[in-house]
Every structure is written in C-alpha cells, then in structure tokens.
C-alpha cells in the first residue's frame, strides 16, 4: 500500500499513542486493535427471507409515497393556479360561515386564543401571527408593516405549496459535474424503450452482450422508470438513450446526462424523428386517425430528444444520413447483427427443418411485426398472387398481423396465418419455409430500415427475396445470395424461379448465410462496438480510498456531525487520500426521488433522497449504497450520523467485506432519541452478565429489543468505534459495548482565520445560543432566563439553523424582555469568525450529556466565555472561572439565570478577555491524522491495500 501522507510528520502509529490520553484504550500485550468478533447468526435461509419481506414492505411503502408525492404536486399546481387564487376569498368566507378557520381550526377556540394573546402581550403580536400565518403581510401598507415587524414575511414550515429547498441549494444540485474526483469503475447505461421485444433484442440485449465481452459493466433501465434511470446515471461512464421521446421526464434525464458530462448518445433504428417521411409512408393508412396523430406527434418528440442529446447512433447508413441532416454533427452506425445465442437458436432451427421433396409444397413466409406493414406487403402482393396461381405447389404463410386482399381467399388452405410469436419460435417457423420475402414500399422512411428480414432468413438457411431499398441493396447481390424484386412482374418471376429450382434456393441460401455470418457475427460486431465505445479504462487507483456516510453534507450542511465530516474530508484530501461521501439530498422541483452525484470538499458526493422515513433501516438507501460501493470501491467506510439513512449501509459493507468504523456523534445507537438526559435500563444493548432481557409485553417493547439486537450487531462488527469524548465513551460502555472496542477521537474544529475584533466600548454584554429550539438543548431555559432578567444591558443572538434549509423554526415576536433578542441564520465555516465577534458569552445549557459540544470548542478558540452544563463531553474543556462556568444539569431556569446575572455584574472583564487554555484544544488536522493511523492499522490487519476490497 502506498503511504498517503508523510510518515515522519503525520503518520500516527497505533502503538505510539500515549496511554491515558483518551485517544485509545489501554492496550495489553502489544495488541493494537480489538480482535474481530464472531456473532451468532440465524440460518441463512431465515435471514434471506427476512430481508426479502423487508424489501417487499419497503417497495410497497415507496409506491404509496410516490402516489402521495404525485398528489402533492398536483395540489401544488392547483393552488398556484389563477382560479385558485381568485376563489380564495370565497373559500375563506364559506369556512368562516361554517364556524372554522381556513386551517380547519374551530373559530371559537381561535377567538379564545386571540383574546388571551391580546390580554397578555397586546394586539401587535396577534396581528403579526395572523399576517404571517395566512400570508396577509404583503397586503399591509409598508409603514404599518414596519411597525408590526412584518418586513420579509416568512412562510410557515410545512405550509401548503412552500418550497423548503432554497434556490441556491437547487442550483448547487444543478451545477455541472465534470467526471469524478476519485474515479469509478467504468460502466455504460442503456436507457431504452423496452416495449417492442424484437427491437429490444437487437438494439439492447445484443449491444449489452457485445459491450460486456469488451469488459464493460452494462446496466439497462427503462426510460419510463426515471427513478432507476436517474440513479444509475450517477454512476455510469457513458449513457445511451434508445428510442426515447422528449417527454418531460426523459428531457430531465438528458439534461442530467449533460450535467454529469456524459456526452449522451441518442439511438434509433427507424426514421421516427422525421415527420415528413412519416407522412409519406402509406403504412399509416392502416392505422386509426388517433394512432396516426400520436405517431406524427411523437416524431417531433423524437427529434427534440435526439437534438437534446447532440450525438447519434443509427442502425443503418440511410438513417445516419437523416440524423446528420436533422442537425447532429456526430452519428455512428451500428447495424443490427447476431449474437451467440441468436446463432445457436438459428442453428437449432435450421437443423430441425424437414427435408423437402420434389413434389412437396413450397412455402413462402412473411413476418409482420404490426398492422403498419400492409402497404409494404401490398407492393409484392400482385406478384405473389400471380405466382401462386401459376404454381399450385406454392403456399403463403403469414406470421403476425396483416390484412390480405380478397384474391388470396381463392387459395384456401394454401394460405396459413400464425399468431405473433417470441423470437426463438419465430426463427423456428421461418426455418420451415422455402422462400422468405421482405417487401418494402419505395419511400425514404423504408430506405432507413435495416436488412433484418434478410439476416434472419439467411441465418436459418432460407433464401430471401427483397425490395431494393437502401439497406437491402447494400448486402443483397441479386442472383448470388438472394434476389431483389420490384413490381408485380419482378416479384412473380423471382418467386417462380425459386419455386422451380430447389438447388438454386440452396445455393443462394448457403451464400447468404456465409455472407451474413462474415459481416454480422459477434466478432465483427464487437469490432464496430469497440470503435464507437472503446474498451473500458482500467480502474486501478493508488492509495487510500475512504468513503464517509453522514445524514447531511455539503451543499446541504446542517448539524455538528456534518461540520466534522466535511472538515475531515478536506484534511484527508490535503493528505492525499481519495474521498467520497454518501448523504441525503433535499427534494428538488421536477426531479425524481433518486440519487444525485455532486462534488464537495474535494470529494465525490452521492446524495440520496429518502423515499420514506426509515429510522433503523431504509432498503431504498441500502440499494443506493450498494451501487455506490460497487462503483466507487472504497478501502474503508467511516460511518458518522446515519439516522434515516439506516443500518443497511453497514450491511452493504459487510456483504462486500469492506471494513467500516463508526463515530458515535449522539445516542442514536442506544435510542430513537438522539439526545438522552440520563442513562436508563431501556438503553442497554445487551443484558448484564448473568441476566436476560424480560420477554416483551407490547409491540413497542418487541421493537426495542429487535432494535437493540440490530444496533449491537452493527457496532460489534465495526472494525473500531470512535467517541468524541471520554464521557460519551463511558456511556456506551455502561450500555453494553466492550471497552476495548471504543476509542476516543476528539473532534477538531475550524480555528480562527484572523484575530478577534475588539468588543465595542460600552456595548451591552452579548450572549449567544446555537442549539436550536429543542428543550433538551436548553432553549426553554434561555427563554425563561432572559424573561426574568431585570437588567436591560444585554443582547442575545439566537442562531436559527433551519433558515439555511429554507424555513424558520425560531419566533421571538412574543418574548417580553428588557434586553434585545436577534435571530440570525446559521453561520458557515467561512463566516464563523464574524458570528463569534458578535458575542462575548456562549450559553450552552444542554440537558443531556453531550457527546462533544462543537460550538463550545469553537467559542473557546475565539476567546468567547462559555456557560455550560455538566457532566458531559461539552464541559471537558472548561476550567471553572478560567474560560467559563460550569452549572448543574438540573433543568432549572434559576440555575442558568444565576450564572448570567453574575456575568452581567462582571461585564467589564470581557473588554479584553483572552482564553489562556486554547493550546489544549484539538484541531481537525490532528484529528484526521489520528484517524488515518487507525485506518492504516485496520487495513494492514485485514491485508487490504485500501481500495480493492470494494470490488463486487
């Protein structure tokens, strides 16, 4: 394995970590890593059955969610319509007359609440709420709007028609991606129309086989299933659209192909994109007016899709010329040909054909794929009828749908009709004939058709008479390997000549078979396919390849674990490590619920949309993870916060024998609640020694026991478990995880990029809070505290992180306080220094034993005093009275209020305060180097070189 960072300066040997530092457990007898565990498993058949049932349930749930999404989109369009807006006042009046508000709340209850608000807070807060809730703010005059605080009205989270994805975030997922940062295993995606079996056989199945023999991984997706097509497109090297029209979903796929830099190819085997050529084709006369309308309409759609791709693939030279004339600069030709299975099927059919005698019936066979071939057959019908009248031994066998003129009724049983059959039986029926015919009307449309009827007849050893259209004329040498015929006389003469001379039939058929095998055998086809698509590049990247999994990641950044994962990725990349990420993405307008690939922090990022809220397992996400692992090929996977992504991510790693490590950012592994105020017996993953869990008495208890079993197995099969703090590590040890399986890897943070700005002279004491509106983060304590303060010489800055996701969660309009309260959006890593310049004291009154407390470290590094609860990882860097204050975790307003009032009395100390203990803090660089040491030890023990373990 190649070393990816400097050994002397950065490489961290596991044995070199000093004991007692919290960076690793005490290691005995030179042991560097905890031994692998072997957990008891159920029988494979039981596991497979359970997984199958789970997947079926997930598919059912996903289908129902798709229906809900469709209904919601329809409702959104309805509510955005002009008629809906005009009738809104009428609906409001009707609802009020029924005694209810538009939100379906009872009017008498709403009036009682309104009176209480006016009595306690005055009329202004009530007017603000009503205006914002119902969107009336824009109708209020600007002067009054400012007085009421309605500038910049904000929509309610989850309100009807609200797009919770900001325009900037949508743009980030629409930004072009030129290839991948770390490379992927080469693959080709065929997005195809799978309706016509014969077309699928020649243009999809055969091409797939030829590409796979060249070494490509090939995936086929139906264009009518845009979710699968979009998901597979994220991981492919090239994409081909076969017979795909320009409907909205298909155009979205083509645009996505261009975004990914895939240079999409549009493939066709008929002149479907030329409306004029279609209208000149008399075969349309056999169709109903409605069918003709849609065919001609589709011609425009095919043309639009073709031009949207910008590159073409045709089945004939004539078709390629038409595509070039339509505006494509590059068009390749890949003719319909044979694959090994077709040759084998044809050989079996040829060997089984009966031996004809001199007096036997001579059968003419015609295969019609649809009712639209009546005009083609008509150009030979007179000659065929005349030949049958002149030669009583001639019989006509029709396979498929065709309208025959009345003159053929006179031949009675000499005319046979067979239903359309699959390809194999069709070749068998074709092989029993003596003469095959391929009549085509002389049109530009038919000049673009392939010579497939000649090929099929020739491969089963049957002589063929063809019309002299472009493709037939290129391969049929009349009198040598078949016959070309035009007009009634030409067809009559050709058929009578062949009927009278069995030896000639055999001679022409043998020559035709030799010719088509030489030109259309698999080896010849592969050479053409290789010239168009090349051979796949060798995927052998060097060095360490690390995949990280976290519920959020740039461009959708939210939460502490996200900040850590993003920062580690940047440092890994600086160290020469190749990185990728799997995360969630938001719902985007007009985009199917499929994965999307972006690039962020120097890494390839696969964002998956959660089809349903699967807290423990999410099979749809697991499938995306499996594809990502197969394509990207990591050496090791680092699992961060994966709530909603689910444990299937870890199962996908185990199935591919890829080691994974887990960082315990919160308490998700112990409970559905991420933040736990205290330890409880229900959180213990395994019973205490000598004890057993009590039998479940309810469905919820059964759920908890099954959850524990899954979590425990997933953690125990990790190569190593990391905790951001010693307190959090001890919590998991108390709940059943062996101590030798968890080590401390303290989180780093972004250090200041510049010196702190001086505190403004005479400014009030400025407090800050970053924890969000959850009570467990202490939000209610902060609200109660500032309401109770008698002083007005203070300011509180509240960070509302969800503003970055497009909606607010903090509303301070009804806070009655003496000081000033401001709400600001979440800061980014780049704007962090600006935020901390605005505050002197960070309030961190969390009511659970935090795993780490990232904002505490950020504040300490920027000379901001911290008031923090204890115990927990959040207080491990606080020395009382030196860089902050520790308060009891008792969920009492008075406790926090006492600390704040003491600081208000000592406000002058913050005019030039500097934290004297900054040198004790961890950096992202040190954290990343520590992790790289563990990664290398894990990969060395497992005998891996960092990436080849990801091969499927």
pLDDT at 10: 34
Does 236 score more than 60 pLDDT? yes
What is the pLDDT of the chain when averaged over all its residues? 83
Considering the domain architecture, whether residues 801 and 818 belong to the same structural domain is answered as: yes
The residue among 300, 333, 366 that closes a domain is: 333
Q: Is residue 91 part of a domain?
A: yes
Considering the domain architecture, whether residues 329 and 346 belong to the same structural domain is answered as: no
**Average pLDDT of 665-675?**
86
Q: Is residue 6 part of a domain?
A: no
For residue 433, the SS3 value is coil
Does 466 score more than 90 pLDDT? yes
Considering the domain architecture, whether residues 323 and 362 belong to the same structural domain is answered as: no
pLDDT at 136: 52
Considering the domain architecture, whether residues 278 and 394 belong to the same structural domain is answered as: no
Considering the domain architecture, whether residues 141 and 263 belong to the same structural domain is answered as: no
pLDDT band at 368 (very low <50, low <70, confident <90, very high): confident
> Domain containing 893: what range?
765-921
Considering the domain architecture, whether residues 596 and 699 belong to the same structural domain is answered as: yes
Q: Is residue 59 part of a domain?
A: no
pLDDT at 134: 56
Does 566 score more than 50 pLDDT? yes
Rg (C-alpha) for the chain, rounded Å, is 37
**Tokens found for residue 523:** 């080896």
Considering the domain architecture, whether residues 462 and 587 belong to the same structural domain is answered as: no
The residue among 148, 170, 201 that closes a domain is: 148
Q: Where is mean pLDDT largest: 81-90, 175-184, 856-865?
A: 856-865
Considering the domain architecture, whether residues 348 and 391 belong to the same structural domain is answered as: yes
Question: pLDDT: is 47 or 451 the higher one?
Answer: 451
Q: Is residue 168 part of a domain?
A: no
pLDDT at 401: 83
ω before 215 within 30° of 0 (cis)? Answer: no
| Cβ-proximal residues to 60 (8 Å cutoff; 6+ apart), any chain | none
Q: Is residue 551 part of a domain?
A: yes
Does 14 score more than 50 pLDDT? no
DSSP designation for 880: B
Considering the domain architecture, whether residues 323 and 460 belong to the same structural domain is answered as: no
Does 777 score more than 50 pLDDT? yes
Backbone angles phi, psi at 539, to 5 degrees: -100, 90
Q: Is residue 2 part of a domain?
A: no
pLDDT band at 612 (very low <50, low <70, confident <90, very high): low
pLDDT at 88: 76
**Average pLDDT of 72-99?**
75
Rounded-to-5 percentages of helix, strand, coil across the chain: 45, 15, 40
Residue 771 and residue 800 in contact, taking contact as beta carbons nearer than 8 Å: no
pLDDT band at 277 (very low <50, low <70, confident <90, very high): low
Considering the domain architecture, whether residues 730 and 779 belong to the same structural domain is answered as: no
Considering the domain architecture, whether residues 480 and 624 belong to the same structural domain is answered as: no
Q: What's the total number of domains in the chain?
A: 5
Percent of the chain with pLDDT over 70: 82
Considering the domain architecture, whether residues 406 and 496 belong to the same structural domain is answered as: yes
Q: Is residue 510 part of a domain?
A: yes
Q: Look up the CATH number of the domain holding residue 225.
A: 3.40.50.2300
pLDDT at 139: 52
Residue 212 and residue 264 in contact, taking contact as beta carbons nearer than 8 Å: no
**Tokens found for residue 941:** 């023990």
In terms of DSSP bridges, do strands 603-608 and 596-600 run parallel, antiparallel, or are they unpaired?
A: antiparallel
Does 400 score more than 70 pLDDT? yes
Q: Is residue 656 part of a domain?
A: yes
Q: Look up the CATH number of the domain holding residue 888.
A: 3.40.50.2000
Lowest-confidence region among 157-171, 345-359, 566-580, 754-768: 157-171
Query: Max alpha carbon distance in the chain (Å)?
Result: 121
Residue 714 and residue 650 in contact, taking contact as beta carbons nearer than 8 Å: yes
Residue 605 and residue 173 in contact, taking contact as beta carbons nearer than 8 Å: no
**Average pLDDT of 294-304?**
75
* Residues 613, 614, 619, 623, CA torsion sign: positive
């Amino acid at each position: 394995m190649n070393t990816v960072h400097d050994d002397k300066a950065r490489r961290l040997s596991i044995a070199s970590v000093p004991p007692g530092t919290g960076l690793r457990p005490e290691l005995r007898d030179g042991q560097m890593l905890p031994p692998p565990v072997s957990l008891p498993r159920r029988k494979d058949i039981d596991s497979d059955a359970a997984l199958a049932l789970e997947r079926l349930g997930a598919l059912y749930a996903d289908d129902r969610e798709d229906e809900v999404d469709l209904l919601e989109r329809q409702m959104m369009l309805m509510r955005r319509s002009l008629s809906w807006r005009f009738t809104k006042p009428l609906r409001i009046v009707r609802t009020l007359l029924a005694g209810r508000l538009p939100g379906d709340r009872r009017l008498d209850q709403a009036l009682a609440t309104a009176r209480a608000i006016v009595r306690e807070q005055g009329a202004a807060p009530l007017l603000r709420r009503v205006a914002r809730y119902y969107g009336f703010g824009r109708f209020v005059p600007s002067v009054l709007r400012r007085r009421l605080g309605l500038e910049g009205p904000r929509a309610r989270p989850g309100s009807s028609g609200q797009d919770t994805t900001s325009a900037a975030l949508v743009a980030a997922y629409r930004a072009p991606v030129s290839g991948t940062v770390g490379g992927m295993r080469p693959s080709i995606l065929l997005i195809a129309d799978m309706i016509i079996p014969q077309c699928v056989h020649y243009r999809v199945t055969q091409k797939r086989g030829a590409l796979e023999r060249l070494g490509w991984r090939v995936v086929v997706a139906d264009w009518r299933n845009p979710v699968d097509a979009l998901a597979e497109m994220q991981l492919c090297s090239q994409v081909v659209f076969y017979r795909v029209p320009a409907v909205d979903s298909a155009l979205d796929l083509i645009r996505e192909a261009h975004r990914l830099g895939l240079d999409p190819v549009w493939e066709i085997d008929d002149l479907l994109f030329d409306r004029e050529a279609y209208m000149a084709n008399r075969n349309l006369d056999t169709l109903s007016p409605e069918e003709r309308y849609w065919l001609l309409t589709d011609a425009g759609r095919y043309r639009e899709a073709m031009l949207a791709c910008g590159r073409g693939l045709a089945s004939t030279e004539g078709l390629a010329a038409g595509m070039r004339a339509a505006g494509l600069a590059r068009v390749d030709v890949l003719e319909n040909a044979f694959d090994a299975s077709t040759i084998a099927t044809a050989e079996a059919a040829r060997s089984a054909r009966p031996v004809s005698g001199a007096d036997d019936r001579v059968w003419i066979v015609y295969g019609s794929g649809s009712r639209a071939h009546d005009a083609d057959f008509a150009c030979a019908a007179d000659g065929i009828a005349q030949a049958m009248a002149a030669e009583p031994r001639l019989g006509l066998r029709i396979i498929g749908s065709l309208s025959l003129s009345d003159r053929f009724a006179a031949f009675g049983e000499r005319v046979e009709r067979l239903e359309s059959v699959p390809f194999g039986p069709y070749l068998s029926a074709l092989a029993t004939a003596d003469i095959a015919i391929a009549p085509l009307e002389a049109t530009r449309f038919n000049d673009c058709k392939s010579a497939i009827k000649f090929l099929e007849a020739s491969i089963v050893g049957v002589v063929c008479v063809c019309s002299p259209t472009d493709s037939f004329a290129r391969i049929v040498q009349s009198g040598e390997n078949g016959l070309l015929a035009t007009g009634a006389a030409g067809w009559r003469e050709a058929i009578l000549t062949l009927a009278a001379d069995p030896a000639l039939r055999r001679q022409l058929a043998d020559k035709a078979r030799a010719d088509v095998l030489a030109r259309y055998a698999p080896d010849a086809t592969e050479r053409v396919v290789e010239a168009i698509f090349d051979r796949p590049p060798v995927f052998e990247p060097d060095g360490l390849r690390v995949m990280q999994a976290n519920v959020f990641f740039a461009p959708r950044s939210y939460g502490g674990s996200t900040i850590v994962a993003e920062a580690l990725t940047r440092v890994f990349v600086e160290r020469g490590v190749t990185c990728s990420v799997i995360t969630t993405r938001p719902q985007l307008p007009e985009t199917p619920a499929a994965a999307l690939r972006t690039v962020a922090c120097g890494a390839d990022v696969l964002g998956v949309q959660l089809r349903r809220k699967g807290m423990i397992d999410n099979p749809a996400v697991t499938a995306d993870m499996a594809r990502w692992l197969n394509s990207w090929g990591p050496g090791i996977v680092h699992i961060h916060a994966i709530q909603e992504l689910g444990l299937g991510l870890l199962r996908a790693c185990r199935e591919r024998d890829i080691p994974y490590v887990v960082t315990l950012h919160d308490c998700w592994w112990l409970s559905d609640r991420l933040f736990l105020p205290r330890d409880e017996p229900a959180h213990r993953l395994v019973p205490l020694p000598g004890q057993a869990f009590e039998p479940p008495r309810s469905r919820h208890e059964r759920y908890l026991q099954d959850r524990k079993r899954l979590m425990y197995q997933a953690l125990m099969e990790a190569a190593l478990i990391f905790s951001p703090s010693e307190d959090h590590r001890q919590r998991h040890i108390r709940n059943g995880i062996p101590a030798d399986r968890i080590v401390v890897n303290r989180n780093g943070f972004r250090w200041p990029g510049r010196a702190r700005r001086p505190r403004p002279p005479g400014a009030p004491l400025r407090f800050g809070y970053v924890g969000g509106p959850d009570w467990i983060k202490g939000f209610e304590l902060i609200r109660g505290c500032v309401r109770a303060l008698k002083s007005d010489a203070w300011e509180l800055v509240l960070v509302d992180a969800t503003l970055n996701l497009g909606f607010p969660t903090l509303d301070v309009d009804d806070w009655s306080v003496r000081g000033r309260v401001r709400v600001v959006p979440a800061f980014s890593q780049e704007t962090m220094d600006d935020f901390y310049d605005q505050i002197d004291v960070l309030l961190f009154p969390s009511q659970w034993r935090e795993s780490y407390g990232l904002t505490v470290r950020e504040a300490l590094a920027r000379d901001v005093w911290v008031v923090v609860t204890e115990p927990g990882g959040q207080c491990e860097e606080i020395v009382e009275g030196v860089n902050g204050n520790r308060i009891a975790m008792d969920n009492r307003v008075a406790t926090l209020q006492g600390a704040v009032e003491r600081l208000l009395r000592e406000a002058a100390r913050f005019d030039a305060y500097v934290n004297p203990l900054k040198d004790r803090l961890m950096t992202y660089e040190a954290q990343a180097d520590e992790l790289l040491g563990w990664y290398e030890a894990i990969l060395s023990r497992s005998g891996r070189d960092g990436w080849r373990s990801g091969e499927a």
